[in-house]
Amino acid sequence: MAVDVLDYTGTVPRALVHRASVTEVFLTDHRPHGEGALIAAQLPRTHSYYNDHTGSPALYDPLLLMEVLRQCGILGSHAYLDAPHGSAFVFDRAELTIVDIGALRIGPRPAELLIDFRIVETKKRGGKVAGAVYEVLADLDGRPAVRARLACRWMPRRTWQALRDRSRAGLELTPRAHITGLRLPTYLVGRRSAQNVVLADAVVEGSEAVGHVVVDQAHPGLFDHPLDHIPGAVMFEAFRQTALYASSEVHGLAPRGLYMESLRTDFAQVAEFELPTDCRARVGALTPDGVTVESELVQEDRVIASATLRLGRTLCPAASAPAEERLVSA
Per-position pLDDT tens, the chain of length 330:
545 589 999 999 999 999 999 999 999 999 999 999 999 999 999 999 999 999 888 999 999 999 999 999 999 999 999 999 999 999 999 999 999 999 999 999 999 999 999 999 999 999 999 999 999 999 999 999 999 999 999 999 999 999 999 989 888 787 665 555 789 999 999 999 999 999 999 999 999 999 999 999 999 999 999 999 999 999 999 999 999 999 999 999 999 999 999 999 999 999 999 999 999 999 999 999 899 999 999 998 899 999 999 999 985 443 334 433 333 333
Asked if domains 14-162 and 171-329 share a fold, the reply is yes
Give the CATH superfamily of 14-162: Hotdog Thioesterase (3.10.129.10)
Helices (H), the chain: 62-81, 157-169, 232-251
- What are the helix (H) ranges across 122-183? 157-169
Do the beta carbons of residue 328 and residue 286 sit within 8 Å?
no
Question: Which residues, in sequence order, are CB contacts of 46 under 8 Å at separation 6+?
Answer: none
Residue 315's pLDDT is 58
Q: Is 321 helix (H, G, I), strand (E, B) or coil?
A: coil
Backbone angles phi, psi at 294, to 5 degrees: -100, 130
One-letter amino acid of 193: S
CATH classification code of 171-329: 3.10.129.10
| Residue-level pLDDT at 2 | 47
Instruction: Determine the pLDDT at residue 153.
Output: 97
* Domain ranges for the chain: 14-162, 171-329
Distance CA 303, CA 271 (A): 9
CA distances for 146 relative to 78, 130, 140, 197, angstroms: 23, 26, 8, 25
| pLDDT value of residue 268 | 96
CA atoms 43, 49, 55, 61: torsion sign = negative
3-state SS assignment for residue 315: coil
239 three-class SS: helix
> Does 156 sit behind a cis peptide bond, omega within 30 degrees of 0 on the bond before it?
no
Q: How many CB atoms lie within 10 A of CB 187?
A: 18
